[in-house]
Amino acid sequence: MTLTTFALIRHGQTDWNAERRLQGATDIPLNDVGRGQARDAVEVLSGYEWDAIVSSPLSRAAETADLIAHGLGLSVTRRVPELIERSFGRAEGLQAGPELEALRIPGGFRGAESEDEAAGRGLTTLDALAEEFRGRRVLVVAHGTLLRVTLSRAIGRTLQGIDNAVLNLAHHHPVGGWELEYFNGQRVMAAAQG
């Protein structure tokens, strides 16, 4: 059985992250803290050999991938449009409060991509990458909500928020599905398979 290994990294911090605003598909750049987080991620990621680095085309993920690739002495293989963050529609840019709550509906926000749609898009994309890079190691830089809902679906249990620029390590088995080894930089004690 051929195992494909993925490092799934959320981009570094942005000003909107620091302000606790929903970013979604809005293209908000990294801030200096985020750039430092990306550089710091290199230390953990350098413990592995990577065959490919792909990222979302949104600037916060693309720059994180570029900084990590530079630190590893590699280059980014390509940007993958299907890895953009879940769209939150009119809720993007809002902080918790009445204005955001007025847009809330079961499973998300009015006019936004549903959690289910985002998870389906994310898992389809990771499955395609697993097929393309079968038996290799792929470093993916994307977004917190997209990675959380995708991994939750892949392993069949609900995961909490994903931290900026930390290691989430998952393995794809062509027959057995997905197994999560590290989540938010911590080894998962009883790795689940989905």
List the catalytic residues: 11, 85
Q: For residue 118, how many C-alpha atoms fall within 13 Å in the half-sphere facing its CB?
A: 25
Structure tokens at 93: 């840019």
Q: List, in sequence order, every beta strand (DSSP E) within the chain.
A: 4-10, 52-55, 78-79, 104-105, 108-109, 137-142, 169-173, 177-183, 186-187
Degrees (nearest 5) of the Cα angle 6, 8, 10?
Answer: 170
Binding-site residue ranges for substrate: 10-17, 60
CA distance 32 to 72: 20
